[in-house]
Amino acid sequence: MPIFEYRCAACEHEFEELIRGSEDERALMCPSCGKRGADRKLSVFSAPATVPGPKAQPGGCGRCGDPNGSCGM
């Protein structure tokens, strides 16, 4: 089970919680001030925001842009 980092929106206290489901997350209480609605911080398990990927592959159709190959025109 993943452990997420949270930051309280009210007092900005940061803490970690072991989360089993989204319902548990909504019921999270800040251990410092007791408020609910902490924001989850990005964890190391999250994928990077921007992943460079191949947009156009060599050998694709130069006319219609089909990456699978020539369109036959």
Nearer to Zn ion, 10 or 42 (CB): 10
Per-residue binding string, Zn ion, 34-73, x by CB under 5 A, is ----------------------------------------
Instruction: Please identify which residue in 33, 42, 64, 71 interacts with Zn ion, judged by CB under 5 A.
Output: 33
d(CA 12, CA 26): 17
First to last CA, the chain: 53
What are the phi and psi torsion angles at 22 (to 5°)?
-70, -25
Nearer to Zn ion, 27 or 51 (CB): 27
Q: Is 28 in the site for Zn ion (CB under 5 A)?
A: no
Instruction: Please identify which residue in 13, 17, 19, 40 interacts with Zn ion, judged by CB under 5 A.
Output: 13
- For residues 8 and 17, the answer to whether their CB atoms sit within 8 Å is no
Task: Kindly give, in sequence order, each residue whose CB lies less than 8 Å from that of residue 47, ignoring residues fewer than 6 positions away.
Answer: none
